[in-house]
Amino acid sequence: MRVVAGRQKGRRLKKPEGQDLRPTPARVREALLAILANRTEDARVLDLYAGTGALGLEALSRGAQKVVFVENHVASARILRENVTRCGHDEQCVVITQDVETFLAAPPSFGEPPAFDIVFADPPYHTTDLIRLLERLSLSGKIAAQGMVILEHFFKHAVPSRIGALTETRQSRYGDTMLTFYRRAAEETCD
């Protein structure tokens, strides 16, 4: 597995062996970052269910300012930290080993931006409670005004077009993978 584009293009990323981990395929990462275009430049990025950190590291490779990775699995978080170091982004990254629901309910911790411009959410592939995740995310206060949420999910799992402060702006399908893009309304607050 490698970084697809940007300053770290071609950088090899490590992934856990023998785990039931489904990293975002390179062609999906490439398409996703192409859709985001230069929105990643100087962005504050949150990578939920980060796994190897491939999505957040792609954003850093394309100019993101800071990435906070949230990964509950200890072995995956250890490899994620190795990948951050391999790419030379130790100063721009925070790796939080915690489940996503606990993280979303907590106030910002040291080194974490108060709100994020881009949020990647790639829950376990056959998770069906995507509505609960989107509700928690909408209420968390972790999405900046006009911030984007990109939810990666199995294409057969339906998601709402509007939930809380989030409104769907686009869907793109790649094989069995669906990317659903949401934008947070500027006028609403997420207190």
Q: Is residue 10 part of a domain?
A: no
- What's the CATH code of the domain at 161? 3.40.50.150
Q: Is residue 163 part of a domain?
A: yes
Q: Is residue 53 part of a domain?
A: yes
Give the C-alpha separation, 148 to 124, whole Å: 20
Q: Is residue 89 part of a domain?
A: yes
DSSP 85-125: HHTT-GGGEEEE-S-HHHHHHSPP-TT--SSEEEEEE---T
Q: Identify the weakest region by mean pLDDT among 18-22, 56-60, 95-99, 157-161.
A: 18-22
For residue 81, the enclosing domain spans 26-184
Q: Summarize pLDDT for 10-40 with one digit per residue, the tens.
A: 677 787 665 556 667 778 888 898 899 889 9
Q: Is residue 5 part of a domain?
A: no
Q: Is residue 14 part of a domain?
A: no
The total number of structural domains that make up the chain:
1
DSSP H or E run through 84: helix 74-86
Choose the most confident range, by mean pLDDT, from 31-40, 104-113, 122-131, 150-159.
150-159
Report the chain's mean pLDDT, rounded to a whole number: 87
Q: Is residue 127 part of a domain?
A: yes
Q: Is residue 15 part of a domain?
A: no
pTM (2 decimals)? 0.89
Give the C-alpha separation, 101 to 169, whole Å: 24
